[in-house]
């Protein structure tokens, strides 16, 4: 069943807000501005992934080739939703830099 436009918009908004919020909280706790933007590709791979994590060590070739097939098989809606999450992670870092430059040292 194809994804409808309202579902796509809501999913994009949820991924943006989710990863912006997680990135903002991680930035406050760890004081590392771009931590979520660095971690996000790993999270996205875990979302796309269909293999167990242990199979990347026990059955490496099959796991990585399966991951490549899964990434190549993503639909435009999936790519758009994952891109919204990446944008949220990046904007959380930008927001933290702006807040720190304006003197908010609690962050």
pLDDT digits (tens, 9 = 90+) for 28-83: 888 888 889 999 999 999 999 988 888 989 999 999 999 999 999 999 999 999 99
Residue 30 has a pLDDT of: 87
Q: What confidence score (pLDDT) does residue 106 get?
A: 64
Cα dist. 19→12, 83, 105 in Å? Answer: 11, 11, 22
Band of pLDDT at residue 91, cut at 50, 70 and 90: very high
Per-residue pLDDT at 88: 97
- Return the half-sphere exposure (C-beta side, CA atoms, 13 A cut-off) of residue 34: 2
Residue 107 has pLDDT above 60, yes or no: no
Q: Please give the pLDDT value at position 87.
A: 97
Q: How far apart are CA 92 and CA 21, in angstroms?
A: 7
Q: At what angle do helices 35-48 and 60-72 cross, to 10 degrees?
A: 100
Quote the pTM value. 0.86
DSSP conformational letter for 91: H
Nearest partner of 48 among 76, 26, 74, judged by Cα: 74
By the 8 A CB rule, do 49 and 70 touch?
yes
């Amino acid at each position: 069943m194809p994804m409808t436009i309202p579902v796509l918009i809501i999913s994009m908004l949820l991924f943006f807000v989710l990863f912006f919020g997680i990135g903002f909280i991680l930035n406050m706790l760890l004081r590392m501005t771009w931590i979520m933007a660095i971690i996000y590709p790993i999270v996205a791979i875990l979302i796309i992934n269909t293999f167990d994590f242990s199979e990347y060590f026990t059955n490496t070739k099959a796991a990585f080739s399966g991951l490549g097939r899964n990434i190549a098989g993503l639909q435009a809606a999936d790519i758009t939703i994952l891109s919204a999450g990446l944008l949220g992670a990046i904007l959380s870092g930008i927001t933290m830099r702006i807040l720190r430059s304006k003197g908010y040292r609690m962050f």
